[in-house]
C-alpha cells in the first residue's frame, strides 16, 4: 500500500464518485471506500511521514505516530459502522457529505502541520453541515446555519493562530504548543480547539445542531468533530492545567440539562458533552496514564455514543418521534434495538465488562495518582450523572416506562447489523481491553479487573439505579415534559437579536428626534426670513427719508472713528 | 414532532399478547432483585482488598451511599433548573 496517499483521501475520492452512481448503490460505495481506507491505514507504520513544499513552507501531509494512528483506527471503524447504518440512504448529498466529513477528520489527525490541519478542519465543518441541512426543514436549516458560523469561526481562529505561530516560531509544525496567555498565537489555537471541543459556554452548537441532523447524519456527527478536537488538544496542549477545571465543568453541567431534556437525541448530545469532559481532564493532567486514558476513552466513547445515537435514530426512523414524553414501551416492537441500547447504556455508564469500565477508570486513576481530590470526587459525581441520563433515562423512556401504545416494525436489517456489530465491539472491549491498550500512545501499566474496582463501580451504579427506582416509586422523579430548555444558545437566538432590536429602536428614535429638531430649526429660519422680508417686515417696508439720513450719518460717523484709530 | 411520513410504520394490533414486563409482579421481582444485589455488594465489601485513593472513599460503603445521594441530588437539581430554563416548546418559533 502506497504511503504517498494521505489517510482519508480514499473517502474524499469516493465522495466525488458517489454522485455518478445510481441511488441504490451509493451506500455501498461509501461502505466499500471505508473498508479500503481502513486497510490503507492499518498498513501505515508508526513513523511514516510525507512532506511536501508549498510556497516555500514545509507541509507535513502525513505524520503517522501512535497518537494519530489510534484516532485513525477508531475514526475508520466509526466511518465503517456509520456507513453500514446508512446503507439505505439514496440522497447523494448526504452520502457524499458523510464521506468528505469522515475523510477530512481522518486527514486532520494525520496532519503534521497547522496549515494542513486548518484545511481539513474547515472541510469537516463545511461538509458536516450538509448532514444537518439534509433534514430539509426550516429549523434544521437555521440550526445548521448557526452551527456553520461557529465551526467556521473556529477555523478562522485556527488560521489566525497558525499564522501568528509561524511569525513567532518560523515553523508551521503541529506539535506541543502549550497555553501561554502572553502569546496570541497560542490563545487563538487553544480557543479554536476549545470551540470544536464544546468547552463550557462555547458548547451549545452541539446540543443545538446534532439533534436536528438526519437519522444517519447524527451518527456520523457524534464520532468525528469533537474527537478531532480532543486529538488536537492532546497533541497541542497536554498537561495544560486549566484544562482540568474546564473538563470538570464539562462533565458536570450537562448532566442537569440532560435530566430535564425531552428530546432524547438532545439528551445524548448533552451526554456527549459530559463524556468529552472526562477526556479534557485527562489531557489537562497530561501524565502518560492520563493521556492513555483519554485516547482509550475517546476510542470506547466513539463506539458507545454512535451505538446510542443509532438506537435513537432507529426509533425516530420507525416512529417519527424522539420526545421522551411521546415514547415508551418500544421493547415490544423493537427488542433487538432495545438490547443494543442497553449495551450502549451499560458501556457509557461504565458497568464492569462493558467498554466504559476499562477506559474511564484510567482517567480517574490518573487523577487520583496526582492527588487531585476535588477533581476526583467531581468526576465521581459526573459518573453517577452519566448513569442517570444515559444509563437509565435513554433506554427507560424509549423502550420501557409508560407504554406509549406505539407499535412499529423492528429497525431495518442493515441498521440492526450496524447496531449489533457496534454493541459487540463495546462488549469485546469490556472483556478484552488489551488490544486497545496495545495501540495507546504509551505503554500501559493498568489492570482494570480488580475486585476492588468491580465492587466499588457496581456499588456506585446500582445504588444510583436504586435511587431511580425509589424516586419513580414515590413519584418524585420529574415527569418528561415537552418543552424547550434555555441554554447559551439563548444568548444569540434571543438576547443578541433583542439587544440589536433595542439598539435599532433607540437609534431610530434618536434619528427621528434629531430630524424633527433640524426641521423645526429650518422652519424657524424660513419663517424668520419670511417675516423680515414681508411687505411690513424689517427689510420689506418702505423706510422714511429721515431714518435713511440718520443711518447714513451713523455709518459715516463709524467710518470716521475707525479711520482715526 | 408531528405525525410525519414515518407514521405509516406505526400500527396498533387489535389484540396482542401480553408482554412479560406488563406484569407488575415481574417488575416488582426485578426491583427486589436489584435491592438484593445492592445489599450483597455492600456485604461483600469487607472481603475485598480495598485501596482507597483518598480518606473519604475508604469509608465503608462509600460508593454505595455516594451513588444514591448524588443521584437524588442531581434529579432534584434538575427539577430546580427546570424552574429557571423551561420554556414552551415553540419558544424559538416566533
A467/B49 touch (CB, cutoff 8 Å), yes or no? no
The rounded percent of chain B whose pLDDT value lies above 90 is: 38
Residue B15 confidence class, pLDDT cut points 50, 70, 90: low
Reading the block at residue A333, the C-alpha cell is 416492537
- Exposure on the CB side of residue A489, measured as CA atoms within 13 A: 20
**Running along chain A, 565 residues long, what does each successive block of 10 average in pLDDT?**
79 94 91 96 89 86 94 97 95 95 97 95 96 94 95 96 94 92 94 96 94 96 96 97 97 94 95 97 97 97 97 96 93 95 97 96 96 95 94 94 90 97 97 96 94 94 95 89 87 90 94 95 93 81 84 92 88
Reading the block at residue A453, the C-alpha cell is 474496582
- On whether the CB atoms of residues B82 and A478 are closer than 8 A, the answer is yes
Which of A456, A471, A481, A495 is the mutation pick for testing B, counting most B CBs within 10 A? A456
A320/B77 touch (CB, cutoff 8 Å), yes or no? no
Chain B residue closest in CA terms to A382 = B70
Which of B40, B78, B83 is the mutation pick for testing A, counting most A CBs within 10 A? B78
Residue B4 has pLDDT above 50, yes or no: no
What is the DSSP annotation of A475-515? T-SPPP---EE--THHIIIIIHHHHHHHHHHHHHHHHHHHH
Residue B3 confidence class, pLDDT cut points 50, 70, 90: very low
A564 contact partners, CB below 8 Å, separation of at least 6: none
B67/A403 touch (CB, cutoff 8 Å), yes or no? no
> What do you get for the CA distance between the two ends of chain A, in Å?
106
Task: Report how far residue A117's alpha carbon sits from residue A105's, in angstroms, rounded to the nearest whole number.
Answer: 9
Q: Which CA distances in Å does A379 have to A35, A159, A252, A370, A372?
A: 37, 34, 8, 14, 11
Q: H-type helices in A240-325, by residue range?
A: 243-260, 264-285, 288-319
Residue of A473, A485, A494 with shortest CB distance to B86: A485
B31/A469 touch (CB, cutoff 8 Å), yes or no? yes
Task: Report how far residue A288's alpha carbon sits from residue A495's, in angstroms, rounded to the nearest whole number.
Answer: 44
Reading the block at residue A406, the C-alpha cell is 406505539
Question: What is the structure's pLDDT at A399?
Answer: 95
Residues 249-268 in A contacting B (C-alpha not used; CB under 8 Å): 255-257, 259-260
Per DSSP, the three-state class of A46 is coil
B31/A409 touch (CB, cutoff 8 Å), yes or no? no
Task: Report how far residue A33's alpha carbon sits from residue A39's, in angstroms, rounded to the nearest whole number.
Answer: 10
Residue B7 has pLDDT above 50, yes or no: no
CA nearest neighbour of A209 among A496, A484, A489: A489
Reading the block at residue A65, the C-alpha cell is 505516530
Residues 266-325 in A contacting B (C-alpha not used; CB under 8 Å): 316-323
Chain A residue closest in CA terms to B93 = A139
A475 contact partners, CB below 8 Å, separation of at least 6: none
On whether any CB of chain A is under 8 Å from the CB of B4, the answer is yes
Using DSSP bridges, classify how beta strands A484-485 and A57-63 pair: parallel, antiparallel or unpaired. Answer: unpaired
Question: What is the structure's pLDDT at B48?
Answer: 87
Question: What is the structure's pLDDT at A465?
Answer: 96
Task: Report how far residue A307's alpha carbon sits from residue A436's, in angstroms, rounded to the nearest whole number.
Answer: 18
A463/B71 touch (CB, cutoff 8 Å), yes or no? yes
Chain A residue closest in CA terms to B78 = A256
Question: What is the structure's pLDDT at A1?
Answer: 44
Other Cβ atoms closer than 10 A to A289: 22
- On whether the CB atoms of residues A15 and A96 are closer than 8 A, the answer is yes
A331 contacts on B by Cβ (under 8 Å): 19, 21
Question: What is the structure's pLDDT at A273?
Answer: 96
Question: What is the structure's pLDDT at A483?
Answer: 87
Quick one: how far is CA A463 from the chain centroid?
Answer: 32
| Bridge partners, A263 (sequence order) | A323
What is the DSSP annotation of B18-82? PPGGG-HHHHHHHHHHHHHHHHHHHHTGGGS----SSSGGGSTTHHHHHHHHHHHHHHHHHHHHH
Task: Report how far residue B60's alpha carbon sits from residue A401's, in angstroms, rounded to the nearest whole number.
Answer: 34
CA angle, residues A295, A296, A302, in degrees to nearest 5 = 90
The ipTM is 0.86
A380 contacts on B by Cβ (under 8 Å): 57, 63, 66, 70
Q: Which CA distances in Å does A343 have to A298, A300, A354?
A: 17, 13, 8
Interface size between A and B, measured as CB pairs under 8 A: 180
CA nearest neighbour of B4 among A89, A450, A323, A325: A323
Q: Which tens digits make up the pLDDT trace of A485-506?
A: 888 888 888 899 999 999 999 9
Question: Helix, strand, coil shares of chain A as percentages rounded to 5?
Answer: 70, 5, 25
Phi, psi of A239 (to 5 degrees): 75, 10
A216 contacts on B by Cβ (under 8 Å): none
Residue B93 has pLDDT above 90, yes or no: no
Residue of A320, A376, A470 with shortest CB distance to B54: A376
Residues 23-82 in B contacting A (C-alpha not used; CB under 8 Å): 31, 34-35, 37-38, 41-42, 44-45, 48-51, 53-54, 56-57, 61-72, 74-75, 77-79, 81-82
In the block, cell 406484569 appears at: B23
A316/B6 touch (CB, cutoff 8 Å), yes or no? yes
Domain ranges of chain A: 1-236, 238-484
Task: Report how far residue A521's alpha carbon sits from residue B74's, in angstroms, rounded to the nearest whole number.
Answer: 66
CA nearest neighbour of A375 among A210, A472, A559, A249: A249
CA nearest neighbour of A354 among A366, A368, A342: A342
Reading the block at residue A310, the C-alpha cell is 443509532
Torsion angle, CA of A438/A441/A443/A449, rounded to 10 degrees? -60
Amino acid at each position: 500500500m502506497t504511503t504517498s496517499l494521505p489517510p482519508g483521501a480514499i473517502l474524499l475520492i469516493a465522495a466525488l464518485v458517489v454522485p455518478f452512481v445510481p441511488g441504490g448503490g451509493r451506500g455501498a460505495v461509501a461502505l466499500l471506500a471505508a473498508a479500503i481506507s481502513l486497510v490503507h491505514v492499518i498498513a501505515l507504520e508508526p513513523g511514516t511521514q510525507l512532506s511536501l513544499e508549498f510556497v516555500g513552507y514545509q507541509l507535513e501531509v502525513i505524520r503517522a505516530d501512535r497518537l494519530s494512528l489510534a484516532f485513525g483506527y477508531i475514526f475508520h471503524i466509526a466511518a465503517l459502522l456509520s456507513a453500514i447504518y446508512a446503507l439505505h440512504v439514496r440522497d447523494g448529498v448526504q452520502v457524499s457529505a458523510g464521506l468528505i466529513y469522515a475523510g477530512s477528520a481522518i486527514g486532520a489527525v494525520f496532519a503534521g502541520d497547522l496549515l494542513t490541519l486548518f484545511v481539513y478542519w474547515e472541510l469537516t465543518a463545511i461538509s458536516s453541515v450538509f448532514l444537518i441541512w439534509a433534514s430539509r426543514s426550516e429549523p434544521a436549516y437555521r440550526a445548521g446555519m448557526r452551527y456553520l458560523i461557529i465551526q467556521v469561526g473556529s477555523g478562522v481562529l485556527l488560521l489566525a493562530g497558525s499564522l501568528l505561530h509561524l511569525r513567532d516560531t518560523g515553523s508551521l509544525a503541529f506539535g506541543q504548543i502549550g497555553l501561554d496567555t502572553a502569546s496570541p498565537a497560542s490563545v487563538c489555537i487553544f480557543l479554536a480547539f476549545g470551540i470544536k471541543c464544546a468547552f463550557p459556554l462555547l458548547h451549545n452548537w452541539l446540543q443545538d445542531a446534532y439533534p436536528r441532523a438526519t437519522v444517519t447524519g447524527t451518527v456520523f456527527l457524534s464520532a468525528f468533530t469533537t474527537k478531532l478536537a480532543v486529538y488536537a488538544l492532546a497533541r497541542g496542549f497536554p498537561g495544560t492545567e486549566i484544562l482540568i477545571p474546564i473538563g470538570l465543568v464539562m462533565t458536570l453541567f450537562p448532566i442537569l440539562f440532560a435530566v430535564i431534556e425531552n428530546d432524547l437525541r438532545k439528551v445524548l448530545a448533552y451526554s456527549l458533552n459530559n463524556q468529552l469532559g472526562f477526556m479534557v481532564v485527562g489531557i489537562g493532567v497530561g501524565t502518560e496514564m492520563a493521556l492513555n486514558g483519554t485516547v482509550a476513552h475517546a476510542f470506547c466513547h466513539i463506539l458507545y455514543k454512535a451505538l446510542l445515537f443509532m438506537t435513537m435514530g432507529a426509533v425516530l426512523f420507525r416512529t417519527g418521534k424522539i420526545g421522551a414524553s411521546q415514547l415508551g414501551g418500544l421493547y415490544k416492537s423493537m427488542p433487538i434495538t432495545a438490547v443494543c441500547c442497553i449495551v450502549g447504556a451499560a458501556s457509557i455508564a461504565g458497568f464492569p465488562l462493558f467498554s466504559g469500565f476499562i477506559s474511564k477508570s484510567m482517567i480517574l486513576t490518573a487523577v487520583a495518582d496526582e492527588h487531585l481530590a476535588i477533581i476526583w470526587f467531581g468526576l465521581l459525581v459526573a459518573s453517577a450523572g452519566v448513569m442517570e441520563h444515559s444509563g437509565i433515562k435513554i433506554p427507560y423512556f424509549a423502550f420501557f416506562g409508560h407504554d406509549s401504545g406505539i407499535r412499529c416494525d423492528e429497525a431495518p436489517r442493515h441498521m440492526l447489523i450496524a447496531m449489533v456489530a457496534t454493541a459487540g465491539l463495546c462488549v469485546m472491549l469490556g472483556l478484552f481491553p488489551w488490544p486497545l491498550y496495545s495501540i495507546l500512545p504509551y505503554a500501559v501499566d493498568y489492570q482494570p479487573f480488580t475486585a476492588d474496582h468491580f465492587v466499588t463501580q457496581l456499588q456506585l451504579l446500582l445504588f444510583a439505579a436504586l435511587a431511580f427506582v425509589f424516586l419513580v416509586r414515590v413519584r418524585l422523579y420529574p415527569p418528561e415534559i415537552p418543552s424547550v430548555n434555555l441554554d447559551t444558545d439563548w444568548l444569540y437566538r434571543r438576547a443578541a437579536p433583542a439587544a440589536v432590536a433595542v439598539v435599532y429602536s433607540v437609534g431610530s428614535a434618536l434619528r427621528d428626534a434629531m430630524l424633527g429638531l433640524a426641521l423645526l430649526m429650518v422652519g424657524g429660519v424660513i419663517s424668520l426670513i419670511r417675516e423680515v422680508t414681508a411687505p411690513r417686515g424689517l427689510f420689506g417696508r418702505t423706510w422714511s427719508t429721515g431714518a435713511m439720513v440718520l443711518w447714513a450719518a451713523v455709518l459715516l460717523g463709524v467710518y470716521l472713528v475707525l479711520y482715526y484709530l | 414532532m408531528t405525525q410525519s411520513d414515518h407514521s405509516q410504520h406505526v400500527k396498533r394490533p387489535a389484540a396482542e399478547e401480553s408482554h412479560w414486563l406488563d406484569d407488575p409482579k415481574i417488575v416488582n421481582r426485578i426491583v427486589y432483585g436489584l435491592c438484593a444485589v445492592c445489599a450483597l455488594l455492600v456485604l461483600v465489601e469487607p472481603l475485598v482488598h480495598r485501596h482507597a485513593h483518598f480518606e473519604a472513599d475508604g469509608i465503608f460503603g462509600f460508593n454505595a451511599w455516594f451513588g444514591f445521594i448524588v443521584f437524588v441530588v442531581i434529579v432534584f437539581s434538575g427539577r430546580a433548573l427546570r424552574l429557571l430554563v423551561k420554556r414552551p416548546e415553540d419558544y424559538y418559533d416566533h
